[in-house]
Amino acid sequence: MPTTAQYANHRISQTTTIQSGQTLSSAITLRGTLPCALVMPASWTMADIILQGSEDGITFYDIQDSYGIPVQVAVTAGHFVMIPETVVVSCHFLRLKSSAPQGTDREITVVSRPLGSLETPFWQSSGFSPRSLPSLALWLDAADYGTLTKDASNFVSTWQDKSGNGNHATQGTGAQQPQYSATGLGGKPTLTFVADGIVVPYDSSLNWTKVSCFVVLERNADSGAVHRAMHMWGTGFRFILGFRDDTDKLNLTTWDTTSHVNVVDYDVSNDSPLIFGFINDGSQTTPRINGTAKTAVSHINGTQNEGIHFGHAGSAAVNCNISEVLLITDELTAGQITHVEQYLASKWGIALG
């Protein structure tokens, strides 16, 4: 039977066991609480955890995301692993299903918090969702585990778009795929890029004359001179977001087929997550770093008619983590920008200002 303990900081821990040779744990009662993490045992037969929910504690179903994909959590022995809270918010009972039988009894601790507690983060309690943004064309979210198609080593072949436009990022070549980590960006989920990267093919929903873009990312290590974290292009222009390892700068550059225009250089350190954004009004681009606007730069816009690459550009591949991408094919208002940056900062634990 599960056991329960109350933490002084309003966290509640319940233990449940998957018995030797089995895949299912005993049920945990959730009424009034929201599970937020799993504490994995020191020994664990390699397998993901599939979350199951129930209304009566008797009949359980695999919990599915909005795409109808069962929610799986990548777990590792002896680790504290975050659960995507929004997928279990309405369940009364929770059960854990291992994707492979366990070799001996495995006791797992489920950490929950009271529903409606003051600890609810802004990005879950404010009611804001990127889907409320007009002209949202692309939303990639590493915290939504169900949007990732990966192999047993966590290399990702598809990162599904949550905007509703079907602009999924894909990479069919195994050696070029990014790798998922549940704790790689400041203890939070991310995709690590070290090779050619992942590609969003061109679609008409990506066409724009004005654009707003936000990326949560960090550099892992110096990997050369100039390396691209994000590269979007079309006829007559390019936007190139990358790291200048020769000067330890995050750099945004535009190119109009004849000359490069440097939009911003920003000092960066390895393993320091940040929110990078840029707002283009059709004639100039204003970069934003952790909620602060930098000097706007004028340049010529072209036509978006090709794809978007992440961690890409052949010999200019980058060693970095990317956790979330929002691309809006319009110029956001000041209020909308504030909502996006507060949402991202709360969700990924990044200080603004």
Instruction: Return the minimum-mean-pLDDT range out of 69-73, 88-92, 241-245.
Output: 241-245
Co-location of 134 and 278 in the same domain: yes
> Residue holding tokens 């929770």?
94
Co-location of 247 and 176 in the same domain: yes
Instruction: Return the minimum-mean-pLDDT range out of 52-56, 69-73, 139-143, 255-259.
Output: 255-259
Co-location of 163 and 279 in the same domain: yes
What average pLDDT does the segment 319-340 reach? 91
Which one is predicted more confidently, 221 or 42?
Answer: 42
DSSP letter assigned to residue 115: T
Co-location of 113 and 128 in the same domain: no
Number of domains in the chain: 2
Domain that includes residue 81, residue range: 3-117
Which one is predicted more confidently, 112 or 124?
Answer: 112
Instruction: Return the minimum-mean-pLDDT range out of 30-34, 46-50, 304-308, 328-332.
Output: 304-308
Co-location of 75 and 179 in the same domain: no
Co-location of 169 and 271 in the same domain: yes
Task: With respect to residue 144, please indicate whether it lies within any of the assigned structural domains.
Answer: yes
Domain boundary among the residues 117, 133, 149 is at: 117
What average pLDDT does the segment 56-64 reach? 87
pLDDT of the residue at 301:
62
220: CB partners within 8 A, 6+ apart? 192, 270, 271, 319, 320, 321
Instruction: Return the minimum-mean-pLDDT range out of 57-71, 91-105, 251-265, 335-349.
Output: 251-265
Strands (E), 19-90: 28-29, 33-39, 49-54, 61-62, 72-73, 80-82
CATH code for position 40: 2.60.120
Task: With respect to residue 353, please indicate whether it lies within any of the assigned structural domains.
Answer: no
- CA–CA dist 218, 205 (Å, integer): 28
pLDDT category of residue 4 using cuts at 50, 70 and 90:
very low
Domain boundary among the residues 70, 96, 117 is at: 117
pLDDT of the residue at 6:
41
CATH code for position 319: 2.60.120.200
Q: What is the mean pLDDT of the chain?
A: 81
Residues 174-199 pLDDT 10s: 888 999 998 889 888 999 987 778 88
Co-location of 192 and 244 in the same domain: yes
